[in-house]
A and B are shown apart, each in its own frame.
Chain A
Amino acid sequence: MIDFHTHPILVEEIVGNDEALLRAVRDVFKMGSSLQPLETFLLQMDAAGIDKAVLLPIDCSTTRGCRIFSNEDVVKLCKENERFIGFASVDPHKKNASEELDYTIKELGLKGLKLDPGLQEFYPNDKKLAYPIYEVASQLKIPVIIHTGLSWESNTMIKYSIPLLIEDVAHDFPKLNIVIAHFGWPWVLDSVALALKYPNVFIDTAAHYLDTPKEFIKFVLTRQIPITAIERSLRTKILFGSNYPRIEIRKMVDAVKALGLTEGCLNLIFKENAQRLLNI
């Protein structure tokens, strides 16, 4: 099984030795939980039955003066453990963002791109800031995961993260695989509409904003949309993501498994859809 949405922001061996990064984790990403050894991350994966996890950094140098985990540290973790799949992040406000992306994929071996329009303060359909990055990502044939919907970080505006802003991108870059993170909550129907319409739009399950994970995932996938939408129409478009460490991986796995989806559908969500996107 693959977890498509994790942040290595509590890994003590790296964050504990980098004061600026720790400040970014605490003050910008707003994560207050205690740092944990890398072993805890791996054991959390084991407890959830997860074989591989995608690691997502965020480069918000221009807007926040920090990177919430650097591409180089992601590479370091991936080199230490083959269970990690590293994604890059680049700052859309930097003139060399496209070149940096090209370098991180070709030279550092990262496998995808993470963007967070809220923290990075850009509209996903900004032709000047974002399109050159998508052009490179499309050429490199890597998936792009974009934060959408509500975010917990203070001073981040939801206006940048409305899922429908991604329609232009999906339309203008038909060969670019785009993952709408967090189900785009609360714009779940909008996210579903995009995933239904565009072959290159996917959605991850890393959504937990109210109640327990089981209650919330059930609410989203049985009341905001019918569960049959997943089973019948979107089974090839949904990726399991936990958003660890904002939530324990096993609790999100249990929440998705409790929906009563068929085994074939769960295999797609937990493994095969991610394998296809990551070409593994």
Chain B
Amino acid sequence: MKVKLEKVTIQTKKPTEAINVTPQVKKIVEGSSIKNGLVNIISLHTSAGIAVTEGLSCLEEDIFFILDKLIPKEGNYHHARYLDSYGRLGINAHTHLKSILTGMNTFFPIQNGKMVISGTQTIYFLEFDGPLCRTFCVQVLGE
């Protein structure tokens, strides 16, 4: 079995943002020379998420709308204190919790060198605490 790993860097531009990363993932899969297998898409952050849904701007808005209702920006969170390892206060509990809720990864099968994904399915990188330069991994496994 072959395993290929590529890191993709993206610059988010807003505090919250849904970025369609499907084209980048497809390109990496198609350039991997792996014909049959699996592709993992994994965020390297704890205040961002990976999610799959239909690629519509209204749904993008709904994701943040409902997450804000479930996990409000302002709450009685414990994560609001000085963190010596960062040299600053951690004050973004809600972004970490949203990341937990959405998850940080997804995967798709690969067949005949292409990702098996439906026309409506879109892979989103979800920024919860931007703007920041972010990285996600695309790991292609197979023969």
Contact = CB atoms under 8 A, between A and B. Distances in A.
A43 B74 CA distance: 23
B88 A44 contact: no
Contact of B88 (A12, A33, A215): A33
Which size class do B's interface residues fall under? 20 to 34
Query: Lowest 5 CB-CB distances: which A-B pairs, in order?
Result: A43-B131, A30-B87, A246-B88, A31-B87, A32-B86
A103 interface: no
Given A47-B14, A250-B15, A208 B89 contact: yes
Contacts of B130: 43, 47
Interface in B63-115: 74, 80-89, 91
Given A30-B84, A209-B82, A212-B74, A47 B131 contact: yes
A213 B82 contact: no
A213 B91 contact: yes
Given A47-B14, A208-B89, 4 more contacts: A31-B88, A36-B133, A212-B74, A246-B87
A259 interface: no
16 contacts: A30-B84, A31-B87, A32-B83, A32-B85, A39-B11, A39-B133, A40-B11, A40-B131, A43-B11, A152-B88, A209-B89, A210-B81, A211-B91, A212-B80, A246-B89, A247-B88
A161 B29 CA distance: 57
Interface of B: 11-15, 74, 80-89, 91, 129-133
A267 to B, nearest CB: 24
A52 interface: no
Interface string A26-42: 00011111001101100
A30 B88 CA distance: 9
A159 interface: no
Interface in A1-59: 12, 29-33, 36-37, 39-40, 43-44, 46-47
